[in-house]
Amino acid sequence: MATKIFVNLPVKDLNKSIEFFTQLGYSFNPQFTDENATCMIISEHIYVMLLVEKFFQTFTKKEIADATKTTEVLICLSAESREAVDALVSKAVAAGGTTPNEPQDQGFMYGHGFQDLDGHLWEVMYMDPAAINQEQAPAEASA
């Protein structure tokens, strides 16, 4: 079963957020874009709805977290290589984002991240496919 994921994030300035993520290489579905929201396409099955805070508030009775002061979610995206991790983080910083942490290198897995203009945390990671296949091989053999 193919499941689609829609992450909803509040933003202060929709146009600035669109400009920021465009600089990172993402595109948007114009069918779901107006003055209140846009649909950012991550992949065929993953989308991020960027919603102006006032509009976002209509979906919840809870207070909207100030992501510059608290962590409401960590969004982690995979990358094709270590270089792709660093490239995306570099694009984010060049577009006005910040890096809250140093890169994490665990040999088989490498990750780094950035904060977008609203303080949402985006992690980007690469995992060596050989390490994944080694872990799966014994389980498959015993099945």
Contact 82, 110 (CB under 8 A): yes
Residue recorded with tokens 């290489």: 25
- State the fold for domain 1-61: 2,3-Dihydroxybiphenyl 1,2-Dioxygenase; domain 1 (3.10.180)
Residue-wise pLDDT tens digits, 74-127 = 999 999 999 999 999 999 999 999 998 999 999 999 999 999 999 999 999 999
pLDDT score at 134? 61
The tokens for 94 are 């060049």
Q: Phi and psi (nearest 5°) for 79?
A: -130, 160
User: 82-94 and 14-23 are packed helices; what angle lies between their axes, rounded to 10 degrees?
Assistant: 140
The two domains 1-61 and 65-143 share their CATH topology (first three levels equal) = yes
pLDDT score at 142? 46
Neighbours of 140 (CB within 10 A): 8
DSSP β-bridge partners for residue 27:
41
pLDDT score at 1? 64
Q: Specify the pTM.
A: 0.86
Residue-wise pLDDT tens digits, 39-75 = 999 999 999 999 999 999 999 999 999 999 999 899 9
Is a pLDDT exceeding 60 seen at residue 139?
no
pLDDT score at 97? 98
pLDDT score at 141? 47
Domain spans of the chain, in order of start: 1-61, 65-143
Question: What is the second-level CATH architecture of the domain 65-143?
Answer: Roll (3.10)
